[in-house]
Chains A and B, each alone.
Chain A
Amino acid sequence: MSLVVQDARLRILAARIVAQQRWPYASSVLYSLKPVEVSHEELSTMGVDSGWRLYYSPKFVLEHPVEVIATALIHECLHCLFDHMSRFAGFSSRNKNANIFNICGDAHINKVIDDDGMPWGGFNPVRFESLTKYEVSSSKSTEANHELIQKFLKENQEEFDQNQDCGSAASGGNRDYELETDDSGNPATGEDSKDIIRDAVALDVEKHAKGQGKVPGELSRWAESRTRPSVDWRKRLATGVRGSLAKTNGLRDYSYKRPSRKQDAISSYDASIVLPSLSPSGNPSVGFLVDTSGSVSQEELSLFANELLGVLNAIGFGGKISVIGCDTRPSDVFFVKKAKDIPNLPLKGGGGTDLRPGLEKMRDEPRPSITVIATDGLTPWHELAPDPNSDYIGLITEESAISRVPRWIKPILIEGDKVD
């Protein structure tokens, strides 16, 4: 072993110590990486494979000070934590490109690192600023950004001009320099262990944040999505509306109110058996109560309306929905068939929130079988459902208001989309 390689290994280990002092909550993943040196021709920087072995070019490592190598180590750890490998394998796209996916993942990771103020020295990492022409942004997921770049390249007939290789942990596949899974000196970390380590890091991040320690925002969001997974509100709206509609839309549940039509067939064997029948159908109708006190933005409103009408369309509900706006006083009732009509309704309001008059108006006039309420949730509520025959679904934009929502409303918390 030449002296250069020895020195490079020393620097990698030293960088790990520096990285561990910066982000003590990432210890579990930092120490799980097994450093393996490869020639500069094969890999010019640093990369991690699917078994969490860390490959590095000795030249790259010695060219930069230990603080910069520590930053690069944390960068590779984030590929592992965010599980870019499985996500690349799992997402479906007409035109998947490992290099582009790698770049998009890098841009997200480097934003976390920049926000934390870590040094990059003379190294020039991938940043969103260098990708502006593709219209990618930090508020979209790596998958979505990949699609945007592909779309741009196709429309403009261009080739992608940036190249980045962070190993298979960033985008799957196998590199020539990567070791066999069962390499005797450096065996791969199994899927099970990887999940356990991610969980341990997520819990350590939360513990650190609770102990008044500083944790980058993106990382705490990642930890929270792991320890408290939530379901996309669109899914939950769809489920809620389907369930409620099913109750009124056609024959849905059994009761002994009327005898079953099969009764005659059974009676010829044993007249003593009594069968229930499906209860008769009703006409479903949907009401949409909008909080116009300014707490729900115009943008959110059209988003909600779009989703609601989309769900209704998908289950074959062809009717109109009744829309009422309310700040402290209800507006007139509008009947709407297309989502794009909603922003044009005269629903302007302002000042103070009390949705109770709106709910009462809804109960008195259109009397819908489902009422969907879009609000931040900071309003007084009725103690009991205004209309016991209606199902209430609340789209709540303010997390702290969830606990105040009464039991007769099925609350759905609207959360931002996950980006990492």
Chain B
Amino acid sequence: MKNKEEYKNTFLALAVCIEARIPVILWGPPGQGKTSVLNSIAEKQSRTMETLLASIREPQDFAGLPSVVNGRANLVAPDWAHRLSEDGNGILFTDEVNTAPPSVQAALLRVCLDRVAGDCELGEMTSVVAAANPPELAADGWDLAPPLANRFCHLQWQLPPEIVSQGLTGSWPDFELPEKLMDFDKVLEEEKAIVAGFISSRPELTTVIPDGSGEQGRAFPTPRSWEMVATLLAHAKCWNLSDGVMRFLVSGSIGQSAGIEFLNYRNNLDLPDPDMVLRGAESFSFPERADQTYVILAGAINLAERRAPDEDSWNSAGTLLERVVAAGHPDIAVASSKRWLSFRPEGASPNPELLSALVPLMKEAGLI
């Protein structure tokens, strides 16, 4: 976390995972206030929280104590599991998971995946949160085994100096989640459709097992983690959370490589359809970000070119260029206008006002 904004985004991403009941793991050195943040979330939502140190636990603390009753072996669950099961809506927090021996990690797998400890079911509504020290920092840290790593959304957790000095002199910042604005099930369907669309265009990213140069024991794409992405994004969208939060959720689930490409695809889907832009040229309002204006304009002009020699499309594209100039981006208009002029239908002529706005700039840039 580089600054306060990243801290806020990470905090909200954590809150989304807890709400979505998707297991989340916080990576960071000790002493970063992970437990206190979780305590405050649990308290605010009036949920039971159980904190366990995985490194000093034994496999049977998660898998249940074997006990023979009437000739049948039971796996007796420890007390914490029963407390969570009775609450039905609690938070299980396991710290130092990667310094736990492999057999303990293996036992944890079932708790995280099925929310079952021994013979005790914790219930669907129990949230699972874990924390780990980066292996190079831990005294005898292990990489997480890939099957366990793939079940978590991974978030980096290291307090930026800004937050620490604010916390020491006043109060540690706390962020509230707004009310949910949209119908979750409907949004989830949309997000699943986006993920499905992306996977069909990039099938090789469906499953990518990390190799020698990537980060082992962290997030990587599999059908399971793609489904996590859809669920997490649907929650984030219902809360109207920022792009920064979504970035953390996506790269935390499928890793940065696939994450960047997926988010770029998803952002481009958000851009308006070129046909709609051309038809509504008179009233179309360009977005705040100039780089998006560039992409939208280029897309619309592409479409008009494909429809050449259709005079209406050519004129609409001209209207768009005028509007881009009026919005204060004459250079963006110039970048596309050369192409626009190249497919001018016979008899059509550009608006003289547009030309008088563009020509001096084209001359200055040495284009004419």
Contact = CB atoms under 8 A, between A and B. Distances in A.
Interface of A: 10-11, 13-18, 20, 27-29, 31-32, 34, 66-67, 86, 89-90, 187, 189-193, 195-197, 199-200, 202-203, 226-231, 235-236, 238-239, 242-243, 245-246, 249, 252-255, 270, 272-276, 278, 315, 396, 399, 402-403, 405, 411-413, 415
B310 to A, nearest CB: 27
Contacts of A34: 290
A10 B360 CA distance: 8
B227 interface: no
A229 B212 contact: no
Given A14-B331, A231-B214, A195 B244 contact: yes
Contact of A192 (B136, B142, B212, B247): B247
A203 B291 contact: no
A17 B334 contact: yes
Nearest to B141: A242
A253 B101 contact: yes
A14 B141 contact: no
15 contacts: A18-B365, A32-B290, A90-B2, A189-B289, A191-B6, A192-B244, A195-B247, A196-B247, A199-B264, A228-B214, A230-B213, A242-B138, A254-B103, A315-B140, A415-B213
Given A14-B366, A196-B267, A246-B140, 16 more contacts: A16-B331, A17-B334, A17-B335, A31-B293, A187-B288, A190-B244, A191-B244, A193-B243, A203-B261, A226-B260, A227-B256, A227-B261, A230-B214, A255-B103, A274-B66, A399-B213
Interface stretch (B36-44, B57-65, B230-238): B57-65
Nearest to A10: B364
Contacts of A15: 365
Nearest to A231: B215
A186 to B, nearest CB: 10
Nearest to A28: B291
A234 to B, nearest CB: 8
Contact of A276 (B60, B136, B261): B60
A86 B6 CA distance: 12
Contact of A31 (B6, B102, B290): B290
Nearest to B142: A243
Interface in B289-304: 289-291, 293-294
Query: When A and B form their complex, which 10 residue pairs have the shortest distance between CB atoms, in order from nearest?
Result: A14-B364, A411-B212, A192-B244, A14-B365, A272-B68, A239-B135, A13-B331, A28-B291, A246-B140, A31-B290
A402 B332 CA distance: 45
B291 A27 contact: yes
Nearest to A16: B331
Contacts, number: 172
Contact of B143 (A193, A239, A415): A239
Interface of B: 2-3, 5-6, 9, 58-60, 65-69, 76, 101-104, 135-136, 138-143, 211-216, 242-244, 247, 256-257, 260-261, 263-264, 267, 288-291, 293-294, 329-332, 334-335, 360-361, 364-367
Contact of A413 (B135, B213, B261): B213
Nearest to A185: B328
A243 B261 contact: no
Nearest to B135: A239
B212 A66 contact: no
B280 to A, nearest CB: 22
Nearest to B245: A192
A64 to B, nearest CB: 13
Contacts of B364: 10-11, 13-14, 66
A200 B212 contact: no
B60 A275 contact: yes
B264 A191 contact: no
A32 B291 contact: yes
Contacts of B330: 13
Given A254-B59, A276-B60, A315-B140, A10 B361 contact: yes
Nearest to A199: B260
B58, B213, B364, B367 pick with most chain A CB within 10 angstroms: B213
Nearest to A250: B140
Nearest to B364: A14
Contact of A203 (B103, B140, B260, B290): B260
Given A229-B256, A402-B213, A20 B101 contact: no
B291 A31 contact: yes
